[in-house]
Each structure stands twice: as C-alpha cells, then as structure tokens.
Structure 1
Amino acid sequence: MHFDHVCAGAGWPLRIATLSGLMALAQGAAAQTSPALPEVTVRSTLVESPLEYSPASVTIVDGERVRDRQWQVNLSESLSTTPGLLLQNRQNYAQDLQLSIRGHGARSTFGVRGVQVFVDGIPATMPDGQGQTNNIDLQSVERIEVLRGPYSTLYGNASGGVINAYTERGEGRPRIDSSFAVGSNGQKRLGLKAQGEQSGVGYVVSASRYLTDGWRAQSAADKNMFNARLDTNPGDSGHLMLVANYVDVDALDPGGVTPADWQANARAVAQGPIDYNMRKSMRQTQVGLSYDHRVDASNALRLMVYAGQRHITQYQSTPRAAQAPATSAGGVIDLGRDYGGMDLRWAHDTRLADSPFSLVAGLAVNVVEEDRQGYNNFLGSALGVKGALRRDERNTLNNADPYLQASWSFAPRWRLDAGLRWSNVKFESRDHYIAPGNGDGSGDTRYRRWLPMLSLQHQISAATQVYASAGGGTETPTFNEISYRPGGLPGLNFGLQPATSRSLELGLRQRLDGDALRGHWSAALFHTDTENEIVTADNTGGRATYRNAGRTRRQGAELGTQLQLARQWQLSGALTLLDAKLRDGFCNAAGTSCVSAGKRIAGTARTQAALGLDWRPHSDWRLGADWRHVSAIAANDSNSIEAPSYNVLGLSASHTRQWGAWKLNAFARLDNVTDKKYVGSVIVNEGNGRFYEAAPGRQWMAGISLGYQF
C-alpha cells in the first residue's frame, strides 16, 4: 500500500511521536502495582473469544467510561478514541450523527449508512442498510463494541463496520441512581435509573430527558428516552432476556451553510430553514426477546425476536418553485414503519483432528412495512405547514440471510476462522399517488450475494497475536437513495445497483500485564476495493438522485491503545490514516459535470488522532484531558470544497463522596477549551452549496448524580 497522499501535509509524524512519547512515558511511570486486568470477551464475533484472541479489529468501551463526566446523549462523547471511526456531532438533533468506519458510510447526508448498528442484538439498521443511533440509551449501556474490517461482512448488507451496544444486566441488591446536568446554550439533562435483582429476575429501568436551545438558531431539541431490560433463568440451562425501548424526539433543523457564510458567522443559518420552520419529530417503540438454551455440553441454541413501530414527520426547506413539477414529492415527509424480525442460531463445540472446533449456523430475517407520504410544505402563503398530498406509497423491505461460521484451533497457537452469509434483500413499492404527469411508480427488485470471510491468527506469545483476514461485502441502495430517478422522471430508481467490495486486513494485538503498565494496544493495515460505488448523480431543488460510479479504494492504517499507568493514570489513544479515493471518474446525470479519477471520497478525512489522559490523585477525585485532531474533510466529489482541519481540547473533573448507602458524584466539563472555530460536520454534496454545519465554541457543563443502594 502507498500512504503518500494519506500523510502529505497532515503533520502525522508529530502525532505519532506524541502518542509514542506518551506510551514511552507510561512505561517509565511510577512503579506502583496496577490493578489486575479483567478478561474481556468480545461478543460481536459469532464465536465469542477473549479480546486478545479476536479474529478482527474490535474496540470495546465500557459503560462507566461512556457515562463518566459526559452528557450521555451522543455516541460522539465517548467513542472518539476508536481507531477507524469518524464520528461527527452535527449539533442537529433533527438528523443523526455523521458516522463512518474506514470511509464506509461517509457519503450519508442523514442517518447512518454503510455501518450496521445493533442494540442488545436487535438491529437498528433496516434491511436496506439505513440505520440510526438515537435509540441507544447511554445511561444504561453496559458496553459498546466497534467492529471493523472483513469480519463485519458476516453481518450482511452495508456492513462496512458494526457498532454493538449492550444494556447492563440487573444484579444484586436494588439501587436507584438519579442525575442532573446543565450547560451552555440551555442544555439540561435529567436521568433516573433503577436496577437490581428480585426473586431471580434482574432488572434495569432507565428514563431520561435532554433539552437544548441549540448553539445556532433553529436548533432547539427535546429528546426523551425510556429503556428497560429484564433477565431470568428459567431452569438450569436457559436464559431469557426481555428488552423494551422508547424514544421521542422533537427538534428544529438549522441545516447547513455555505463556506462563505460560515466564515463570516459560525452561528449563521440560511434563510430557508427559518422561513419554512425546518424541523423533525420522531417516535419509536420497540420490544425484543431473546432466549439462550444450553442443550448439552456441546450444543446451544439462541432465538431472538423483536418488533417495533417508528413514525417520522419532517418539514424540509424545499423551495415552493422546486415543488411545482408533477413528479415532486413535496417538502414534508410523513413516514410510518412497522418492523420486526428474528435471529435463530445454533452453536456446536467439538473437536476436529483432535483440535478444538466450533461451528455457528443461523438465520436472520427482518421485515419492514413502510407507509410514506409526501406533502407540500406550504398552504397558500403560509410556509412550513402541511399542504397538498404529493406522494403516497407502501414500501416493503425484507431480508432472509442464512449464515455460517467455523473456528478451528488446528495447531498450537494457530486458529482459522471462516464464515459465509447469503445476503438476500428485497425491495417492493406500491404507488398510490397517480396524477397527470406522475405515473405509477410501483416496482420491485431483489439483491442477492454470497459474502465470505476468512481469518488466520497466530499467537506469537501468550500476550501477542497477529492475524490476517479477507472478506467480500455488499452495499445495496437504500430506499432513500432509490426514491427519485435522475432527470425528474417518475417512479423509483430500481436501476441503481449494489456496490460490491473485497477487503483485506493485517493486524497485531498485544496485552500488557506488567506491574506498572497494564492494558492493550493494537495496530492494523487495511485495504478495500469497491466496484459500482453509489455516488450522487444530481442534487437540485432539495432532491438527491444517485448512480453507480466505477471503482473506489479505501486503504490505511490504525493504531489504538488503552493503558493503565500505575494506579493513578489512564491513557487512551487512537490514530487513523485513511486514503479513500475514486479509481474511476464519473459524470452527473446530465453529463454536464464530471469528477476525475484520483479524487478523495467525499466525507472522508486523511488523518484522525485522539488522546485521553485521566489522573486519579485520590480515590474520590478524577481529572481528565482529551484532545482530538481531524484533518480536512472533502465536502464534495470534486474536492473543490474542504472543511478545514481542526484540533480541540477538553478538560473534565469529578468528585465522589460516599455516606453509607448514599453515593454522590459531582462532575464538570469544559469542551473546546481554546474556543476553536471549526466545522463539526459536513453535508456531503449539498445541492445549494451549504456544506458546513458549525461546531460550537467553548462549552461548559456541570452536574451531579446521586445513588442509593438498598
């Protein structure tokens, strides 16, 4: 691989030197005995294994770290030191976080694209690959696992990476925890959680509310969450888990601004979102049930079933004139979804050639029934109100994917993992809005592909492992991407084909178990070639259409570490170098504008780095500093616009006191300490040139949590 373009002008040698220097300093830290490292098991791989023997790149963030001195609202708060993950907080609760892994999902203008998201084993990603993260309750999460590389392909369609969130399991005596935090721009958060175990039933019940006036105009939000988990063991060989989740969001949408407007005023908002009162409301209710049964010493079964409802009403700032054509879907989206599915899995442990052999076979089925209506966003002279019906369709998405993985420790210190999944996604649309100039857009299509994975591991020593893996992936268009045909033609764009990819990875992972230095670090080289990349064909009048381009390539390197330095110090760090480019050029739908080969894939950054340092001078005190660097991000396919690179620093502190059964924790944060002006996220290929969503300047927050153990 050639990383010349990744590194050019990015100042990465200094950042590597900084990270290496801190690691070297760590090894020379005070030789006080650190607490023993707990063994961590990776759950995101079908055959679970200790972290140091995982056949893939995995980062695990525990729930305590997710909540410690944080708002507990966004994943961006606690996953910044995850290698390969670009996670941008848009400061816009009408849209989800901008999230990509190794460049997969970078083109998404809203929601999560190209990355699979799961919560307690339940997919938060629909069969078409469109997902969201706003139903993850960080107040009750036990851990978050971020899986990268070829192994992700076993999760099926659009799995350029995987994020798995797991809720805590209730155990022990009952406990109640409450929290309250306030901060800049009218931010407030209230939280309440009860957990424990009673008569063999473990429970965790969590509720929270978050309010903000927003840093920019037209960005206020109100988010309410409820999450519950119940666990019990019916019999000696079974485990039953019930989870329920509800999320309710009402948020204004400030949209993006042009680079010139951002330069003149970072808090600027375009006139359109204000005139049309751009906003979004979302309600989702979901329940899931999983049952694990140990048949005998060699066989186990697992069944997970889930169902949910989701309703979205979104008012866009599409100009009235752009809604004049008969094929326009208007400027208001009214979307209702009923969804559900199941995952049935069998695990078998035996021996092959007198060596341990594990086999997992399963079937994942998911169904989405969607009623989608579109309306004008005006009524007479009134703007930002629901007007005439312009779209009415019934859409169905489903997939039925069988999968298989085998793991064989065929020789001392050697292990081979192989897997295969049959991705089978079907789209169907029935058009109920037929008018002059807007014919019947009904249709259906199906995408099928075998997705293989192979990984070979070698244990160099008891603490050091090297592995190599390869896989083939697919990424179908989403319903949003086939919603409009180029040239203003009626109907859905069923001619859009899935992108297919081939990935390679070489990784090294080491566990450190010294007296003064404990933890682990990992490094990986990765390379992905993709054909039929899905790119923007046109973006006018608030409507984006898509087409297939030629070949793209994503390659780079990752370094990550989590270290315990004696008893007082903790260090975490991540470095990502990414070279994501078009290998073939392409033109827009009209052929009037072309992008040449060699351009960087829009939405990607060449370099990312993050460091977090925590100091505990006393068991009651915790002080921290975190630093993040992101290099310039290409805002459009031609790379003519880039969001500037930035470095931001955060400081935090907390103090804990215990009085018998009561525990009080007071905490505070100061983010963007130097009041850096920077672009928090980029709206890729925005048709009006409004690419930038500004990040806030210096921000503060302070809060308390109070817990009682019965």
Structure 2
Amino acid sequence: MASMSSHIAWSHFFPLVLGAATPLLHAQTPTTPLPDIVVQSGRLVQQQFDTPGSVYAIDADTLRSSGPQVNMSDVLNRVPGVVALNRNNYAQDVQISIRGFGSRAAFGLRGIRLITDGIPASMPDGQGQASTVSMTSTDRVEVLTGPLAQLYGNASGGVIQTFTREAGDKPEAQVQMYAGAFGMTRTDWQISQRTGQVGLIADYSTFATEGYRANSDARRQQLNSVITVDVQPDTRFKFIINVFDMPYAKDALGLTASQLATNPTQAGTGAIDARTRKAVKQEQTGLVMEHAVNRDLKFQTRVYGGNRTNLQYQAATATNPTGAWTGLTRQFEGMGLQVNGKAHVFDGQRMNWVVGTDIDHAQEQRQAGNAAVGEKTDTTRNELNEASNRDFYAQANWSLGERYTLTTGARQSHVTLKSRDDVPISGTHPDNGSGSVNYTATSPVLGLTWHAQDNLNIYINQGKGFETPTMSEAAYTLLTPSTIKGQFNPNLLASRSKHLELGTKWRPSSNTRVDAAWFQIKTDDEIVTVRSSGGKTAYANASQTSRDGFELALRHQYDSHWRGHVSATFMNATYAQGFSNFVNGTTNNVSAGNSLPAIPKRQLLTSLQWSEKGFSTAGQKPSLGLEASLELISRSSMWANDTNSTTANDYALAPGYAQLNTRVRQRYQVGPARVEVSVGVDNLTNKEAISSVIVNQSSKQYFEPGLPRAWIVGVQSQIPL
C-alpha cells in the first residue's frame, strides 16, 4: 500500500481533461443549448446562472443513467467541493462531506443539511441519513455550498435538497429491474397519475446485495409517495409519505493496512464472531402548503413528523469481550413558515426577499448493553436524548442598477440538547448522566454580484456559521485521559466558522457553461476526537482548522449527439492549531499543519456522453436509440486519522486512485411502452482502491476497500395506463 502514490492516479487526469475541454476551443455551432435551471439560492429561488454562490443541480436523466439509484454518492461526486465516498457497507451509509464539513462522520451525515421535498431529513443536532432518500423517484438534486448555506442554520456546511418528480398529465406505470455483481438486485415499481387537480406519485423499491466482502450482505425496501392537490390556481398542498425498512445490513467493519494487503474481501476483526449488523426502520409523513396572495407575495408552511428505530450489534472490545449492542428509538416532528415577496426600493430598484421560521424537535431513547454472538445479554445504558431548535431567518437580494446585485441575509438559531438518565440510581450507577446545554448563534451572510456582461457574472460573498455536536458525539464523556464513560457531555462547544467565497459564472456560448469558485474557511473550536477506545469515542473542542480551495465545473454540448462534463476540486484542509488525543491508552500529538482526515486534496470527475438520436431538451422524455457514456473518477490520497501516521503498526494513508466507469443504454418503443435496456461496468480497468476511511478508528481498522470490476444490467419500462 505504501508504494502506491497519489500522483499515479493524477497522471491519468490531464489527457482526459484536455480531451473533454478541447472542443471548447473549436466549438461547433450549437444545436441543443444547455437549459437554464432554476434553483434554491439560499432561501430564494432564481436562475442558477445568477445565483451569488455555488449551487449545482443534478437532473433526472443523470440520476437514471447512474445505475440502480441506490447510493447518493453515485451522482454527488459530480459536484465540485463534494466528497462522496461509497463505503460499500450499508450498515454505515455513504460518507459525504462538503468543503470538508461532515468528513469526521463515522456513520450517516454530519455537518451538512439534507432536505427532501421541503421536509428536513437532518435532525436539529445535525445528524442525517442519506439512505432514506428515494433515489428512484427523485427528479432533481440540488447542492448548495459556501456562505449561503449558513442560512439553513446549525451544521449547514452545505445543503443537499432532493425533489420527487411530479405526476404527468397522462397516467403511467414504470418498472425497473437491475442485477449486478456480488449478488446485487434492485427492483422498483412506480405509478404516476393525475385526476383533476390531484396528482399522485407512488414508488416502491427493493434492494439486496450479497456483498463483496465477508459479512456485508444487506436487504432493504422503501416506499415513497407524494400527492399534490391544487385546490385553487394559487394554492397547492403536497402530502409526503416515506417508509424505509432495512431489516438487516451486516457490517464488515474496516481493515487495517496489513489486513487490506492480505485479503481485501475479509471482514474486520471480530465482525463474524459478533455477527456485527444493523437494522433500521423509519416512517415519515409531511405536509407542505403553498399559497400565492398575488404575484409579489407567497406563503409556504410545512409540518412533518416521524419515527425511527435503529438496532446495532458491535464487535468485541477490551471492555466488551463478547460484543455490544446499541438501540435507538426516535420520534421527531417540526414545522416551518416562510414568506416570499418582491418589492421596489431605491427609486424603483427590484428587491426579492424572504423571512421565515423553523421549529424542529427530536427525542430518542438510547439503550445499550453487552452482547454475545450477536444477541443481547443485558442492558447497561438507558437514557432519553432530546434535540430541538427555534430559528428565524431572512434574506434579500437587492438590485443596484443593471450591473450589481447585493445579497444580505441572517439566521438566528437557538439549539438545545438534553439528556435524562433512566437507569435506576444505585451505588454502582449514580444519576450522573443527565443534563442539558443551549447553543445560540447568529449567522449573517453578505454578498455582491457584478453582472459584468450578459454572459458573465462575478460574485463575492462571506458569512458565519456554526455546528453543534450531535447527540451521538455528546453521548460519551472523557473522565480522565484513560477513562471514557457513557454519559451525556454538556461541555462541548459549538464550532464557529467564517466563510469567504469568490466566484464566476461564464457562458462563452449557449452550449457551454463554466463555473469556478475560490473559497476560504476558518473554524474555531473544531469538534475533534479526544479519545477512542473499546468502540467508544469522546469528543472535545481542541483546535482551529483552515480550509481553502478552488472548484471548477465545466459543461459543454458539442452538438446534439455529444456532450461532456468536468468537475474538479482542489482543497487544502488542515489543523491550524495542534492538540493531543488519546487512542487505546496512547497519547498522540496532532501537529498544526496536519491534514484533516477523509478529505482528498484533489478530486476530479470527467465524463463524455454520446446519443445516437440526439439528447432531448430539458423536461422531455429521452430520445429512443442508443446512448453511451465513459466516466473517469479520480482522487488523490487522504488520511484516516488526525495524526497522519504512516508507521508500520499505524498506517493511515489511503492512496489515490483513478477509476473508469462506462454505461450503454438502448431505448425502444414496443407498442405503447418505452423500454430501456442498460449495461454498465464500474472500475473498468479493475484498479485496486480504498473507497472510504473510518476516521480515527481505535483499532486502526481504517480502510474500507472499493469494489473490483463490477457489472450491472438493467431493464426499465414505462407503460401508459
């Protein structure tokens, strides 16, 4: 492993980037211009080209062509500034970070906000699960990075929003079936129907895999349904029902460097004996109402609620020699109100504005204990954790003449974390696990856009953000340098960040678009691992960090048959201040200048697509005939721990790699039905790679191997009803 270096992977970059970009210098007359896209710019809706920040949209065709639509990482790697790592471990979800925020997450999402159909999928403390998004019925994904994301409150280092497709004018059924390497199967059934003013999308999907590694098979199923009711031309109700059921996902755990070199298909130490696995079930409902008072004033309200159960069995440790278990039962609910308006100020200059409030609450019963051979033997922990927020926000875009737009905004946030110890008080267990802590922050944003030309915008903006610890991060307290106790830690501070972004958006022609941004982020009181031992991790505020980088997105429609895409990120994320942590009794010094783990310094995705009959315009069904694509994904090396160690017994550097993926699709018209047959191969050249890392893993089992060459075939059919 140590002989693999990041520059090897990057030697593949430049020929392919040059090949994709060369047509820009010799552009043909466009036959299919790139569409204008409307996105969420902070809390305001506007054309993507005019947004004073980095916003990227992924359309339905890109989602469908990515494959079986199981993991968000399959499409999020197209977005500059986003690191989306597929663990190939469905017990821990994909690992997603945006400009470095969220990279420390051992499971699920941290530090970024996830919103589905206007309903938060992240809890008030910043925890979220990407797996609950129904990718098969998603019509669009938007990713907001930079200072504007701070208008979404706590832990909004970036914002990912997904939108379910709406019912068409004609009733239709859709069926998808996929099969792939390592026992992967995927099915999906959808119905789309509109009756009068009522539209229905109902989507049921299943997924199963035997897994590439030992102890890595998983099963899950999901229902996503959206009903829209246009009771009046100016009033719409949207009802959302989402059910996610994963009866089991076995956890292969990570591998040490030596285990990885010996056999990447093996499970981590103790996984099979302890039958490590996770079971999850979540049910959520929501209602969004939109009402237009007139063309210049609109209201939106939302209410939602749901429950989630999570049961996880962990491997044996020194403190739990036969294994352990953790169970969470969560109830969550919330509501919000938002008012959008337009006005004329400053002698008739235009202003778009929004004000709103969010109130969210989640509580979960956290239980834990010892296990033997993957079954509970006792209960040693029982407590009620709560997280809530009450936020107010406002944003305004002010037109200053024809060439300038001023963006202002702020969010006032109040977040509360509570814990109540429900284990009976005794001599061996005093009531010392209860407590609460409040966090208050104001997150201002200020930006200016110069509309230099009709096809060129240059913007600068800055803002402040904050991130509280999650309830999982506050679940353990470091009593002494050698002792971690499972009790609520109210002493963690929220980390505070300052964001600066300078960017440009350029359309040299109707079929070419270039977005570029430079950013700098300074964070105080970064939440870091202070001790990890026996499967327990305690956190502290121990450091300042610095993130700066450059992002580039280039899209070009060569002609109606060819198009290309390039997305590149160059980022340097380091600790600006040193600190010490403790791992299994050893004190480690983290030096200033060390790299933050799980963040590659360089990342690139470039793709080339061809369509026999020509690509359809936005909003239309894809053309019949043959389509093919070739995609290169490459990342430089990344660290798996804070100390950036490369010793023989603590090797924590995941080398860089480059991987080729290809897809071929053929669409037919068979009577009234449209049928699509697809074949894909990931990792075409069968390169060895580490797909993700487990940050600061106490047993040094940092590495989760990527898949070797893997095939997938699929059949989709759309049938009018």
From 494, 501, 506, the equivalent of 2:490 is 494
From 432, 441, 449, the equivalent of 1:449 is 441
State the partner residue of 2:34.
37
Distance in structure 2 (CA, Å) of the matches to 1:413 and 1:317: 61
Instruction: Describe the SS at the equivalent of 1:580.
Output: strand
Q: Does residue 637 of structure 1 match 2:666?
A: no
Which residue identity does 1:254 align to in structure 2?
A
Distance in structure 1 (CA, Å) of the matches to 2:316 and 2:355: 48
State the partner residue of 1:686.
697
State the partner residue of 1:3.
none
State the partner residue of 2:102.
105
Matched-pair contact (CA < 8 Å) for 1:89–1:681: yes
From 546, 556, 575, the equivalent of 1:553 is 546
Distance in structure 1 (CA, Å) of the matches to 2:711 and 2:12: 29
Distance in structure 2 (CA, Å) of the matches to 1:524 and 1:191: 38
TM-score (norm 1): 0.95
State the partner residue of 2:457.
465
Distance in structure 1 (CA, Å) of the matches to 2:427 and 2:508: 70
State the partner residue of 2:377.
387
State the partner residue of 1:4.
none
State the partner residue of 2:611.
616
Instruction: Describe the SS at the equivalent of 1:388.
Output: coil
Distance in structure 2 (CA, Å) of the matches to 1:570 and 1:604: 29
Instruction: Describe the SS at the equivalent of 1:131.
Output: coil
Matched-pair contact (CA < 8 Å) for 1:266–1:677: no
Matched-pair contact (CA < 8 Å) for 1:635–1:682: yes
Aligned residue runs from structure 1 range 413-428, under 5 A: 413-428=403-418
Matched-pair contact (CA < 8 Å) for 1:477–1:498: yes
Which residue identity does 1:421 align to in structure 2?
R
Q: Does residue 604 of structure 1 match 2:604?
A: no
Matched-pair contact (CA < 8 Å) for 2:445–2:461: yes
Q: Does residue 59 of structure 1 match 2:59?
A: no
Instruction: Describe the SS at the equivalent of 1:677.
Output: coil
Distance in structure 1 (CA, Å) of the matches to 2:639 and 2:269: 25
Deviations 1:85-117 (A, max 9, x none): 100000011111011011111111111111111
Which segment is superposed worse, 282-291 or 482-491?
482-491
1:25 Cα deviation after fit: 2.2
Q: Does residue 226 of structure 1 match 2:216?
A: no
Distance in structure 2 (CA, Å) of the matches to 1:456 and 1:281: 48
Matched-pair contact (CA < 8 Å) for 2:237–2:287: yes
From 604, 628, 631, the equivalent of 2:633 is 628
Aligned CA distance change for structure 1 residues 12 and 272 (closer, same or farther; 3 Å): closer
Instruction: Describe the SS at the equivalent of 2:216.
Output: coil
Which residue identity does 1:631 align to in structure 2?
S
Which residue identity does 1:473 align to in structure 2?
G
Aligned residue runs from structure 1 range 78-477, under 5 A: 78-249=75-246, 250-319=248-317, 321-323=318-320, 331-353=324-346, 354-378=348-372, 383-433=373-423, 434-440=425-431, 441-477=433-469
Matched-pair contact (CA < 8 Å) for 1:44–1:145: no
Which segment is superposed worse, 583-592 or 152-161?
583-592
1:35 Cα deviation after fit: 1.9
Aligned residue runs from structure 1 range 513-524, under 5 A: 513-514=509-510, 518-524=511-517
Matched-pair contact (CA < 8 Å) for 1:69–1:669: no
Q: Does residue 575 of structure 1 match 2:580?
A: no
State the partner residue of 2:718.
707
State the partner residue of 2:648.
none
Instruction: Describe the SS at the equivalent of 2:599.
Output: coil
Identity of aligned residues (%): 32
Aligned CA distance change for structure 1 residues 614 and 272 (closer, same or farther; 3 Å): same
Instruction: Describe the SS at the equivalent of 2:543.
Output: coil
State the partner residue of 2:677.
666
Matched-pair contact (CA < 8 Å) for 1:538–1:546: yes
1:318 Cα deviation after fit: 3.4
Deviations 1:243-270 (A, max 9, x none): 1111111210000010111011111212
Which residue identity does 2:458 align to in structure 1?
V
Which residue identity does 2:662 align to in structure 1?
L
Which residue identity does 1:430 align to in structure 2?
R
Which residue identity does 1:584 align to in structure 2?
Q
Distance in structure 1 (CA, Å) of the matches to 2:200 and 2:6: 52
Matched-pair contact (CA < 8 Å) for 1:85–1:99: yes
Deviations 1:457-492 (A, max 9, x none): 011111211110101010101111111111234631
Deviations 1:161-219 (A, max 9, x none): 11100101112100111011101011001111111311211111111101100000100
Matched-pair contact (CA < 8 Å) for 1:69–1:653: no
Which residue identity does 1:257 align to in structure 2?
L
Matched-pair contact (CA < 8 Å) for 1:81–1:612: no
Aligned CA distance change for structure 1 residues 490 and 95 (closer, same or farther; 3 Å): closer
Matched-pair contact (CA < 8 Å) for 2:217–2:249: yes
1:16 Cα deviation after fit: 5.5
Q: What value does the CA root-mean-square deviation take over the aligned residues?
A: 1.8
Question: Unpaired segments of 5 or more residues in structure 2?
Answer: 614-623, 646-651
Question: Unpaired segments of 5 or more residues in structure 1?
Answer: 1-6
Aligned CA distance change for structure 1 residues 673 and 430 (closer, same or farther; 3 Å): same
Aligned CA distance change for structure 1 residues 570 and 156 (closer, same or farther; 3 Å): same
Aligned CA distance change for structure 1 residues 650 and 297 (closer, same or farther; 3 Å): closer
What is the count of residue pairs matched by the alignment?
691
Distance in structure 2 (CA, Å) of the matches to 1:144 and 1:675: 30
Distance in structure 1 (CA, Å) of the matches to 2:469 and 2:426: 27
Instruction: Describe the SS at the equivalent of 2:132.
Output: coil
Which residue identity does 2:493 align to in structure 1?
Q
Distance in structure 2 (CA, Å) of the matches to 1:406 and 1:480: 36
Distance in structure 2 (CA, Å) of the matches to 1:18 and 1:704: 30
1:69 Cα deviation after fit: 5.0
Which residue identity does 1:419 align to in structure 2?
G
